[in-house]
Amino acid sequence: MADRDVQLLAIGAGPSNLALAVALEELAPDLARDSLIIERNEEVSWQPGMLFPDALSNTNFLKDLVTLRNPRSRFSFLNYLHSTGRLDHFVNMSSFTPYRAEVADYLRWTARSLALVELQRGTECVDISPVWTGGTLTGWATTVAGGQTITSRYLVLGTGRDIRIPEVLRGLKRERVVHSTEYQPRMAGLRKDLPYRVVVVGGGQSAAELFYSVQIDLPECRPTMVMRSVGLSTYETSKFTNELFFPSFVDEFHGARPEARDQMLAEMRHTNYAGVAPGMMDNLYRQMYLDRFTGRSRLQMITMHDITAARDEDDEIVLSLTDWRTGATQELRTDLVLLGTGFSPQMPGAVQRLAERIGLSQIAVNRDYRLVIDRPSTAACYLHGVNEETHGIADSLLSVMAPRANDILQDILTGDHLENLAAAPVTTPVVAAG
């Protein structure tokens, strides 16, 4: 017996599901009134582990939760600025890219401004099971921490991607390993006066931000950045390739042959991955320059090395680094390892477990982000932000969120999700065993 039943349950109150909530309020008020978003954190935010005071979003503010779908919406970033009395000052900055902290605040403002969709904070989804009625999939039973169950006909997963921890580092004690997503709260718990040895792993934007920030957050630390690449390089930011982040490009990408999609993703890799924003690159170079000039020499960058082994030894971590040019190895002893290693390209574990319970042989979504379920079904499950392979490199980014919310909603409203429905006898609902 469920503790609560809603038509639509959205898990995660990040930008993806907030964009959906806005679309629900504007386009489907009846469904909106019967929709619930659950968020595990007590507060709505945006990538809170990396919310540095001076970090900028790299995305145009017009790619907010709604403007590309409905430029006249009251939920726009412009209306947020207007409502909070900062429009003149923002305009005067002559910048299209807001601070990340400002985007986080815009998300909170949007969450507060919802009139119909309910948002429940501090509620973590721990398990999802399909509900079968006879041979037909009729819904979902979601269990939250604390044990309550919420049933729904529609389920929308907007929980982000799983973090990536390189295999070689997985056995280390977690108290000495910090992924970028945990950076700010974990640093807040450390003493500031100790001369920690810190290794930052990775050569992209997250690693660069960790290397830059840890010098401020742990003023006495000695950070070393270790990367496989030949050195840091900037993102590819041409206006021509940026056209491939247009929402309209999703159709083209989705319609392409699989091998062509792979090629496009490979060619576009440097627009979003393995690159550093030009401003951050300058900041880092200046940090290194001043470090040498002042003779402090506490900063080090080790390029073209793989971490080939790692172990805990007493109170430290010992990393084995192999120079891939020569095969030579060296040991690096450290107190802390910061991971700027990003996110797994695989489907999140929660989606894999759900697919297993439904009995799917493969995980695929259609053009409208609906999980393909080759069984009679009156229910549907949609996946945000984990479909780069089929929907293109912008899938995890703000660029496509407003139109994607519309795609998902229209799939529900037009009944397209009923395509596999076969006449099936109506019997008592059954929740698959957990």
The Cα–Cα gap between 386 and 333 comes to 36
**Of residues 64, 396, 405, 409, which one binds ligand FAD by CB under 6 A?**
396
CA distance 261 to 9: 31
Residue closer to ligand FAD, measured from CB, 11 or 338: 11
- Cβ closer to ligand FAD: 234 or 320? 234
Residue with the closest Cβ to ligand FAD?
14
- Nearest approach in angstroms of CB 111 to ligand FAD is 10
Three-state secondary structure of 219-272:
CCCEEEEECCCCCCCECCCCHHHHHHHCCCHHHHHHHCCHHHHHHHHHHHHHHH
Q: Which of 13, 67, 62 is nearest to 406 (CA)?
A: 67
Q: Which of 22, 23, 36, 50 binds ligand FAD (CB under 6 A)?
A: 50
Q: Is 47 in the site for ligand FAD (CB under 6 A)?
A: yes
Out of 14, 98, 130, 376, the residue judged to bind ligand FAD by CB under 6 A: 14
Segment interacting with ligand FAD, rule: CB under 6 A, options 43-51, 276-284, 351-359, 361-369 = 43-51
Distance CA 76, CA 66 (A): 6
Please report whether residue 341 would count as binding ligand FAD according to CB under 6 A: no
- For the chain, what is the radius of gyration of the CA atoms? 23
| Residue linked to tokens 């974990």 | 186
Largest CA distance in the chain: 79
Nearer to ligand FAD, 124 or 323 (CB): 124
Scan for tokens 């041409």, then name that residue. Answer: 238
Q: Does 11 bind ligand FAD (CB under 6 A)?
A: yes
Q: Which of 25, 26, 39, 64 binds ligand FAD (CB under 6 A)?
A: 39
d(CA 157, CA 128): 11
The one-character DSSP state at 433 is: P
Q: Binding to ligand FAD by residue 58, rule CB under 6 A?
A: yes
Which residues, 351 to 370, sit near ligand FAD by CB under 6 A? none
Considering only residues 57, 76, 79, 406, which one is a binding residue for ligand FAD as defined by CB under 6 A?
Answer: 57
Counting residues that bind ligand FAD (by CB under 6 A) gives 29
Which letter does DSSP use for residue 109 in this model?
H
SS3 label, residue 59 = coil
Among 6, 10, 13, 405, binds ligand FAD (CB under 6 A): 13
Task: Mark 398-417 with x for binding to ligand FAD (rule: CB under 6 A) and - for no binding.
Answer: xx------------------
Closest CA to 182 of 341, 347, 38, 319: 341
**What strand order describes the sheet that includes 197-201?**
177-179, 336-339, 197-201, 222-226, 300-302
Binding site for ligand FAD (CB under 6 A): 11-17, 38-41, 46-47, 50, 57-59, 124-125, 158-160, 206, 384-385, 396-399
